[in-house]
Amino acid sequence: MNSVVVFCGSSEGHDPKFTEAAQELGRLLAHEKIALVYGGAKIGIMGHLAKAVLEKEGVAIGVIPEFLLLKEVVHDSLSELIVTQNMHERKLKMHELSEGIIMLPGGFGTLEEFFEMLTWAQLGLHQYPIGVLNTGGFYNDLLDMLYQMVEKGFVRKENYDMILVADTADELLLHMRQYQPLPLPKWMNKKQA
């Protein structure tokens, strides 16, 4: 993996371990020479993540829709800033720039971005490793709910197993490096993926 897209909160949350985990991941990405692709903000967990990457002389690429530039949330010291017309174009650009996906704690936007990438993997549109940094058990209830979908027949177990979960950044990157993607669906050819 030369780059990962990280989805996370534009808020910090109430527990300092969320920002500490983002900083740990940022330092690790820089150390491992893995470029960060993220939402481009200087605030919240996003800001802590990018700052940690940049402080260790790593590459941080922000992708932000034009309307958020007006809210003065954009990080102005990034390696590269890409401005898109809207949120849909932003997600597509993030996908194009990345070779892996990580979700840190966040809100509705974080979940929406993560689930779109997870759905694309389920459909065979990409075969990137998909990781959840489950700091302090933040996503335990969500992961339990997703497993209920398996038990109730709405999600196949092999699709659920695409989600790589770890409590630390080191462990998560190790899982992601060892990930073996599912074969492309029989109805999908390489051109379509």
Kindly tell me if the per-residue pLDDT of 174 is higher than 70.
Answer: yes
Assign 181 a pLDDT band (cuts: 50, 70, 90): confident
Largest CA distance in the chain: 47
Q: What's the predicted TM-score (pTM) here?
A: 0.92
pLDDT digits (tens, 9 = 90+) for 133-170: 999 999 999 999 999 999 999 999 999 999 999 999 99
Assign 188 a pLDDT band (cuts: 50, 70, 90): low
Residue of 152, 134, 135 lying closest to 143 (CA atoms):
134
Helix (H) or strand (E) holding 118: helix 108-122
Token digits for 32?
């491992």
Under 8 Å between Cβ of 139 and 165: yes
Query: What is the structure's pLDDT at 82?
Result: 95
Phi-psi region of 142 (alpha: psi -120 to 50; beta: other; left: phi over 0): alpha
Under 8 Å between Cβ of 46 and 8: yes
pLDDT digits (tens, 9 = 90+) for 67-106: 887 665 888 899 999 999 999 999 999 999 999 999 999 9
Phi-psi region of 44 (alpha: psi -120 to 50; beta: other; left: phi over 0): left
Query: What is the structure's pLDDT at 117?
Result: 95
pLDDT digits (tens, 9 = 90+) for 1-25: 999 999 999 999 999 999 999 999 9
DSSP character at residue 183: P
Kindly tell me if the per-residue pLDDT of 31 is higher than 90.
Answer: yes
Task: Give the neighbor-by-neighbor strand order of the sheet with 3-7.
Answer: 80-84, 60-65, 35-38, 3-7, 101-103, 130-133, 163-166
Beta bridge partners of 7: 103
Mean pLDDT of the chain: 93
Kindly tell me if the per-residue pLDDT of 187 is higher than 70.
Answer: no
Domains along the chain with CATH numbers: 3-176 (3.40.50.450)
DSSP character at residue 185: P
> Which range is least confidently modeled, 48-52, 67-71, 80-84, 175-179?
67-71
